[in-house]
Structure formats: C-alpha cells, structure tokens
Structure 1
C-alpha cells in the first residue's frame, strides 16, 4: 500500500539450552506471500520463521525456500534451573511468556519488574521452576506501580470484548483509506482492503504491537494489527476506513488501545 513496511523483531536467543535435532520442512515462496501469511498457514510465529531461516527483515522473494517446521523449537529443554532469555527488538512480555509457557505476572515477579516496559539486551529469568522459590512482591509501592503503568497484564479484561488484555496504552490515532493514488489496497500482512471494505484493520509499529495481533481501539472497536506505515512509529496507529470523507473527519486524536489475547 502507501505504507513502508518495516522489519519486525529479530531472532530470539536463549542461553543454556539443549535441543534434539529434527529434520525441517521447507516451503517454496509464491508471489504475494508474506512472512505473516506463511506463519498463519503453518501455525508458527513470524519470529520463529525469521529465526529458523536467519532472516534480518521481513523481505522475502518468490521461489525462495523457507524452513517452516523446525521441531527443535518444541523439543528444547533447559539445562539449568536459572535459564535466561535475552530480549530482542520487538519482544513483549506477553510474547516471551507465551514462548516459555508462563504468565506475564510470573515474568515480572521473577525479574523484579514494576512495569512491562522492556528493552533489547535485557536478560530475564524464564525458568518455570522459579515459581516455587520466587514470590511476587506484595509491597504497596510495587502494587501501585503495576496498577498505574500504561500496559496491562493478562489478569485484566476488556468489558467490550470479554478478552484478556495483554497490553494497554494511549496512542495517537489517525485514519486512512485504501483508495488513493498509488495505493494497492493490500496491507503489509496481505489483507485486500478493497475486497474487504468492512474489515477493521489498523496500521501499527510492529515493535509496539506485533503484526497479526487482535486489538481493541477506543471508538473504533476490535481490529487486526495488519498494516504498517512510514509515519507509524511508537505509540501511533492509523485506523482503516473505507470512506475517504470518514477518514478525513476522524482527524487526529488520543485513544486507548488494548492488545488482546488470542
């Protein structure tokens, strides 16, 4: 579309693990494929695809072969009771918690976090055994800090959808349409907005909201984070509207954004 596609998070790095080697399944890329569409087809994550294929960006080419089923990812075992994970660009606490089958609350407790804000290079304890010896802080300052942060943990729920809220923050929102000079109408994740004008889609910074996430936007409703844009950086979103006049009338406003659990 009119938007510039930026690369999502780099590959993950886990220290202190052992893995069983299993032959991988290959997929030959067709015209129109995206990493996101391939990840949906094989029920894997974009991060896994990039890790298995040593990709540093989302750029792929027709006829290129990708490893799409690397069983080593599901057969890894920790070599110690203090395994750690090094945060990469684009990671969120929720994504890390899902990878290691733990909760955001556990990650925050084990690593003495009072906020869900993380940075590339941070190292976190991700060993499930730590739950037996580590307890969340119950002091009032920690409790108040957690309740006042811009990001919510899995324990909160949006009343509008009934879904668990992974992350919550205030974003600056604008609107766009698929009908403009030079626009293809196809989003960064392959959604044809001209063919699906009723689809609720927002453009996001993938480092803030992973592509493919389900989100709830105040005043817009439940949508898919399915597009990117050159001006969409940080806590900025662009909501898709099929009607150009509606998009213009939307203007620029601050809205509450909730990233929802699947």
Structure 2
C-alpha cells in the first residue's frame, strides 16, 4: 500500500516538474526597458496569479514585485511583466566618431616635392590641387604656399589619416578627444610636438579613431526600473502628459508598452516604476593615462625615447644637402639648442645623417 502511494507521489512530482520545465520554454514576447528584457503577457479569462506562475514557471513573489498594482485577482486584458533574465547586461558605447575634415590646410613646398607627391601625401586628386592653386600647373617653388582642400566628410569608422591646421584655442589633448585619437598617436605622427610647443598655424597629421582603450566597469546611481503599474488613459492624455505625471521619461514609458500608439480613452498604459539604484555600466577609457600635463610629458618621453630618470636624449638629424646654406644655418641653430640642453645637465646622443649617402 505504501509502495503504491509512494509511486503515485513520485509520478505526480515528475509530472509537475515536467510541466514547469515545459512552461519555462513557452515562447512569450519580450520588451526591453533601459537595456533589461522583460516577458509580457496579457491576462486571459480564468487566469490567476498562481496559475500564471505555474504556467510559465515563474516565481510568484518576483511577479508581484515586478507589477506594483498586482492584486490577488487579475483582470482579463491586463498586461503583466516578468524579468526575462535576472541580471542587467550593460552595453559598451561605441566611441568611434564621424570625422569632418577642416575646410583646407596650407602646405609649404619643400625641396624635391612635386604636385603628384603632395597630392599623394594628402590623399587628394591632383586636379584638386590644380583647381585651388592654378600656378602649380606650370611650376612649384620651394617655400611656396599651397591650399589643400580635403574631402569634407569621411566614414565614421575610418582610421584614414588627414591633415589639420592648428587653430586658436586648440590643444593637443583636445584634438585627441575630438577625433578619438590618442595623445601618443599625435606625438608619433608629428615628431617633436608637445603640449608646450603646440602653436596656432602648425599643420599636423591626425589618425582618427586610433585611440587604444580598455573596458572597465563603473557603478553609478541611476534611475532603474523596479516594477510596473498600469494607468487608465483619460481624455486628452498624451505620452508626454502621462510620463510627466508619472515622473518618468517619455522614452522609458513608450518602451514599456508593446505598441508606440497610445491606447484610446479607457485603455491601459503600462508605467515603469523607477528608483535611484546602483547600476553597473561598462565604459571605455584610454589605455594610457593622458589627462594631465604630467601624463602627456611621460608619453612624450616614451615616444621620443627620452630617459627621464637619467635625463638622456637620443637625437638624429637628417640633412638632404649638408653643404647647402639652408642646412648649415639649420644645423648651427640646432647645435645651439643642444648646447643649452647640455648646459642644463641633459645628456645628448647626437647623430647627423647625410640623406644623400644614407
């Protein structure tokens, strides 16, 4: 007798478990509010809180907490919500920026340059240079100024380099932020520039969207959905008026409802209940600290292989024509600068390279 009772109890338990397992696999529609996904279900005739939870394998306490005006009895047509997953999964924002090129930059012609080499340098057709500098069709002179008009817009995900003429108020760090580049890449692309010698009118090369980042988790106080209630639509109601009355944003209100169309008078609107709670957010930050002047000095030393601890600098000067007057004048001024550094206690390893023989 006892064996039969035990067998029946086991069969009932097995059947109940299989029903719960089947219920959890029921394909219900979902809706996303503030990045968290919820199942939603429209109450049918004969439904009860217990029956709904049994049907879908839900926890009744969680269901009641999620639906703040959930009563002992539910009404036919009422929409109820249940978390599709227990955890909030934050998303990482896309940091890539759409780059608008500056209208034009000025290029100073150097020895050996041609219209074709300059066009290749800036990535523009030769015809663009001719159109903005008509005399360049006939000849180029060393020291001549050419106006280079770059294309106006490029794809937001690009890492194609472009040239930029520094304007009043620009800073090295500010341009790195604007174009999602790193201070390190700006210094590498433009040897010698630093926060201290960044001058208006200087033309620099920028590689957009080249910033190296790491993803970190931050916890901040934010408005978070803690449940839902229902509101009966009145005459002259709008999404905006309901949201204002409920103290939620219009976007959060609309996203909590299956349709973006406001129900007619007498219909029901689901209102998310919000509370300030700690909320995890994933953010991208620069892989290398660069926000302070000391950070940028450290990056400058790394890029230019300066040993700050030993106060030692390795310098190489490449001269295209060492015997020319312009090169001689340059090297004289350069050596004066080197002497000043040596007199301040800095060790200099200087190499002069003849480009013609290199």
TM > 0.5: no
TM-score (norm: length of structure 1): 0.23
Q: Decide which structure has greater helix share.
A: 2
- Ranked by relative contact order (alpha carbons within 8 Å, sequence separation 6 or more), the top structure is 1
Larger Rg: 2
